[in-house]
Amino acid sequence: MPFSQKIRTMKKHIQQLFLIIFVMQVGCRKFIDIPAPETQIIRNTVFDSDNTANAAMLSILSQLEVEFFLNEITTVTSLSSDEFKNYSTGQENIQIYTNAILPANGRNLGIWSQAYSLIYQCNAIMEGANASKKLSSQLKNQIQGEAKFLRAYLYFYLTNLYGDVPLVTETDYQINKKLSRLSSDTIYKYIVQDLVDARNLLTTSYKDANGIDDSDRRIRPNKLAAAALLARVHLYTKDYDKAETLSNDVINSNTYILEPDIDKVFLIDNKEEILQISNEDIFNTTDGYNFVLTARPGAQSIDPNFVHAFDKNDKRLLNWIGTYIEGTDTFYFPNKYKIQYASTQQESLSILRLSEQYLIRSEARIMQGNLSGGETDLNIVRQRAGLPPANFNSSAQALALLIQERRNELFVENGHRWLDLKRTGTVDDFMKLQTPSKGGTWKTSAQLYPIPQSERSKDPELSQNPGY
């Protein structure tokens, strides 16, 4: 092999090397552009079609029940109030029961973070629907209205449980991660605005799974659900005229009637229902699953003293409270939801129902001096419970009767009892007697739950409630 040829061969080899390196460089770039994930959908695409945008809304409704959020609100507040007796030896449960929740309590953190997780998803719906040019206006209104309704619903509980809370209105974590708490008043203003918007966006009819067609099931919020919740909110903020007007709208809408048969109030097709949340996981309702006793209670059951205060003819005592007897021991449990476990859907968890609206209107009327109007509304509820009508003598007596009626009608249901005690200002006097019987000592500061400790460590702007 002549030498010059040798050199040429070498040159060729070197050229080949560089060519290989070049090809590799280009190859590298192409190689790592991977296809979109097979089990995920890019966010922008979600709001490109009615189907997927609707699906994003449905999962929020679903999580309320499936992730035990609604049940947790009910259980924790019922332990805090006089409704439940605790049987758990878990220290976190004992803390809740004895009104001595520590900032590190995990159940408390669960409520807080689930609420905000759902609020985030509502905000994402709002932003996605706003930005989308491909959604039908019908669906856009429906899911935006629903998102606003739910956001208001969640803030309602947050501010009632924690007082001042951060107001998250968009999905940008850069902004959200350092929010501080806003006053409860501000939160309420925002809630009202959301519900007003929701009323405007939603239709009077209930919507089907697809968010467009009408349906008989009442498992998606409609205009009246927004009105019903707004009535409650106005009651809480003592805007009694507005509360009356709105509950009036709901009651007079001719959409709902009180179920004459008290056993049918929580069935899926009951006529009293304003909004239910369906659970299509493995239970009918998380309440039925958690509360019905078939053995000695290991977690909680209704405090016997709470039961003993019912009129013995009250159908709600007879039909909505179950008993489990073992030897000489009798245990009481909430039995509004009778089905503990079944694969077919017969019951659904109630969020808003008509009897509450009567009670709201009654209270609003009493507070505005219309005792007879209040009496009529109250007696509608009493009558269904099989009780004789009540007579109002004075505002104070009327209010006391009303609160007692709310206790008996709405017990162990969406935290009504605990919230009522607090908003009516009776909580201090009442719990001072109640807490010692639960093995604790009442402190005024226990009215508000603590801001979870881990949250404060992650967002130093979050202040703590007094007393923690």
Q: How many residues bind other proteins (CB under 8 A)?
A: 108
Site string for other proteins, 252-291 (x = CB under 8 A): --------------------------xxxxx------x--
* DSSP labels, 361-378: HHHHHHHTT-HHHHHHHH
Task: Note whether 462 binds other proteins by CB under 8 A.
Answer: yes
Using CA of residue 179, residue 180, residue 184, residue 189, what is the dihedral sign? negative
Q: Which residues inside 130-169 make contact with other proteins, applying CB under 8 A?
A: 166, 168
Q: Which residues inside 423-442 make contact with other proteins, applying CB under 8 A?
A: 439-441
Q: Which residues inside 297-336 make contact with other proteins, applying CB under 8 A?
A: 298, 326, 329
Q: Closest by alpha carbon to 181, among 159, 150, 160, 154?
A: 159
In the complex, minimum distance from the CB of residue 278 to other proteins, in angstroms, rounded to a whole number: 6
Instruction: Pick between residue 250 and residue 462 the one whose CB is nearest to other proteins.
Output: 462
Distance CA 200, CA 281 (A): 32
Distance CA 184, CA 165 (A): 7
**Looking at residue 403, what DSSP letter applies?**
H
In the complex, minimum distance from the CB of residue 450 to other proteins, in angstroms, rounded to a whole number: 9
Task: Note whether 108 binds other proteins by CB under 8 A.
Answer: no
Distance CA 243, CA 272 (A): 19
Task: Note whether 129 binds other proteins by CB under 8 A.
Answer: no
Q: Which residues inside 218-257 make contact with other proteins, applying CB under 8 A?
A: 219-220
In the complex, minimum distance from the CB of residue 426 to other proteins, in angstroms, rounded to a whole number: 24
Q: Which residues inside 331-370 make contact with other proteins, applying CB under 8 A?
A: 340-341, 343
Q: Closest by alpha carbon to 144, among 207, 187, 217, 233?
A: 207
Instruction: Pick between residue 115 and residue 401 the one whose CB is nearest to other proteins.
Output: 115
In the complex, minimum distance from the CB of residue 199 to other proteins, in angstroms, rounded to a whole number: 22
Instruction: Pick between residue 208 and residue 311 the one whose CB is nearest to other proteins.
Output: 208
Q: Side chain identity at 50, as an amino acid letter?
A: D
**Long-range pairs of 373-378 with CB within 8 A, sequence gap ≥ 24:** 374/398, 374/402, 378/402, 378/405
Using CA of residue 400, residue 403, residue 404, residue 405, what is the dihedral sign? positive
Considering only residues 15, 59, 305, 437, which one is a binding residue for other proteins as defined by CB under 8 A? 59
Q: Closest by alpha carbon to 304, among 415, 438, 191?
A: 438
CA of residue 35 relative to chain centroid, distance: 38
Q: Which residues inside 63-82 make contact with other proteins, applying CB under 8 A?
A: 63, 66
Considering only residues 179, 182, 192, 318, which one is a binding residue for other proteins as defined by CB under 8 A? 179
Distance CA 456, CA 462 (A): 5
Q: Judge whether 164 and 181 are in contact, CB under 8 Å.
A: yes
Task: Note whether 113 binds other proteins by CB under 8 A.
Answer: yes
Instruction: For the beta carbon of residue 465, count every other beta carbon within 10 angstroms.
Output: 17
Q: Side chain identity at 333, as an amino acid letter?
A: F
Distance CA 399, CA 367 (A): 8
Distance CA 285, CA 290 (A): 9
- Which residue stretch of 21-29, 132-140, 255-263, 381-389 sits at the interface with other proteins (rule: CB under 8 A)? 21-29
In the complex, minimum distance from the CB of residue 114 to other proteins, in angstroms, rounded to a whole number: 8
Instruction: Pick between residue 44 and residue 204 the one whose CB is nearest to other proteins.
Output: 44
Q: Side chain identity at 130, as an amino acid letter?
A: N
Instruction: Pick between residue 4 and residue 254 the one whose CB is nearest to other proteins.
Output: 4
In the complex, minimum distance from the CB of residue 365 to other proteins, in angstroms, rounded to a whole number: 37
In the complex, minimum distance from the CB of residue 136 to other proteins, in angstroms, rounded to a whole number: 17
Task: Note whether 103 binds other proteins by CB under 8 A.
Answer: yes
Instruction: Pick between residue 92 and residue 249 the one whose CB is nearest to other proteins.
Output: 92
Instruction: Pick between residue 96 and residue 359 the one whose CB is nearest to other proteins.
Output: 96
